[in-house]
Amino acid sequence: MAMAALRREGRRFAPLVSSPNPINAIRSTLAPAEEQVGLGVRSISTQVVRNRMKSVRNIQKITKAMKMVAASKLRAIQVRAENSRGLWQPFTALLGDTPSVNVKKNVIVTISSDKGLCGGINSTSVKISRALHKINSGPDTECKYVILGEKGKAQLIRDSKKDIELILTELQKNFLNYTQVSVLADVILKNVEFDALRIVFNKFQSVVSFLPTTATVLSPEIVERESEAGGKIGDLDSYEIEGGETKSEVLQNLAEFQFSCVMFNAVLENACSEQGARMSAMDSSSRNAGDMLDRLTLTYNRTRQASITTELIEIISGASALEG
């Protein structure tokens, strides 16, 4: 529009026009563009507002697309996560899940995501891990971290550097499968000495609710100790054991397999929670972008109408000055 072009030209020449009046020049450089109404400056520029609106609109489109992608990934992985729950349930029925067990060497396995923009799930996992660490580190016990995922690594590096044992990343390059998780579990078993492993992850309840959970896996020696002490694990002797001469050998196999199954379930549930959290984060982000866009549109219209009114007033007063 010619008027818009003239307005832009007016803004460029404004400092020269009003330079004999230094106060005005300072005011026009200090004030933001849309409020510039100094002498002889006929330019309330809507350019800035228009740029902001364009960028906010782009952000809204991007976040909407990310939400769709997360929703489709969630659908795919949710089925697998719910099916994998059946893997560890027999183990819990047999060996029990005892978070209150008192052991010397604790290892906390924190599962987090590699990518960001997924809401607060990684922070909650890290918070729970730190709380567990605090509970479990006493005078004669030690507590170490094994971290899966970049986001957990970034948060835990800041203050727990000396307690970190292993960091595993780049897990989701291929589709998540049992073989990968079991190899991970193997790496952890071979490199870390533990009496009890506490796995911290976000359990997927529904698309909007993720519960941070801890699953405890004991090493075979501790299982034996607990079974001597009686309780749930003490019933192990009443089972008929096949394929293994001694109870300790069977317990060792069982403990390793239990760790692998629990890890598999934990990784899948955390991935589900990540996609769900990303969906809701992107959804609220696009809604915020929409609100921002509405507000900016109002400002834009007000600015535009004000500039048109100013033009009209100038023209009319100029015309009436000519006549009168």
Partner 1 sequence: MASTAAVPFWRSAGMTYITYSNICANLVRNCLKEPYKSEAISREKVHFSVTKWADGKPQKPTIRSDSPED
Residues that bind partner 1 (CB under 8 A): 161-162, 164-171, 173-175, 177-180, 182-187, 189-191, 244-246, 248-249, 252-253, 256-257, 259-260
Structure tokens at 315: 């023209």
Q: Report the DSSP beta bridge partners of residue 199.
A: 109, 215
Distance (Å, rounded) from C-alpha 316 to C-alpha 211? Answer: 67
Say if residues 97 and 216 touch (Cβ distance below 8 Å).
Answer: yes
Distance (Å, rounded) from C-alpha 190 to C-alpha 104? Answer: 18
Least CB distance to partner 1 at residue 150 (A): 10
Question: Angle CA(121)–CA(122)–CA(125) in degrees, nearest 5?
Answer: 90
Could you tell me the end-to-end alpha-carbon distance of the chain, in angstroms, rounded to an integer?
32
Length reported for the chain:
324
Which C-beta is closer to partner 1: that of 4 or that of 166? 166
Least CB distance to partner 1 at residue 245 (A): 4
Say if residues 178 and 192 touch (Cβ distance below 8 Å).
Answer: no
Q: How many other C-beta atoms can be found within 10 angstroms of the C-beta atom of residue 117?
A: 14
Which C-beta is closer to partner 1: that of 47 or that of 169? 169
Least CB distance to partner 1 at residue 94 (A): 16
Which C-beta is closer to partner 1: that of 66 or that of 176? 176
Least CB distance to partner 1 at residue 263 (A): 10
Which C-beta is closer to partner 1: that of 166 or that of 292? 166
Which C-beta is closer to partner 1: that of 59 or that of 168? 168
Least CB distance to partner 1 at residue 211 (A): 26
Least CB distance to partner 1 at residue 255 (A): 9
Say what angle helices 220-229 and 247-323 make with each other, to 10 degrees.
110
Least CB distance to partner 1 at residue 240 (A): 17
DSSP string, 210-236: EEEEEEEEE-HHHHHHHHHH-SSGGGG
Distance (Å, rounded) from C-alpha 243 to C-alpha 250? Answer: 8
Which C-beta is closer to partner 1: that of 66 or that of 156? 156
Q: Report the DSSP beta bridge partners of residue 143.
A: 106
Structure tokens at 244: 């293994």
Least CB distance to partner 1 at residue 137 (A): 16
Which C-beta is closer to partner 1: that of 12 or that of 161? 161
Which C-beta is closer to partner 1: that of 217 or that of 279? 217
Distance (Å, rounded) from C-alpha 116 to C-alpha 42? Answer: 46
Least CB distance to partner 1 at residue 107 (A): 13
Which C-beta is closer to partner 1: that of 4 or that of 167? 167
Gyration radius (Cα) of the chain, Å: 32
Distance (Å, rounded) from C-alpha 263 to C-alpha 30? Answer: 59
Per DSSP bridges, beta strands 210-218 and 196-204 are antiparallel
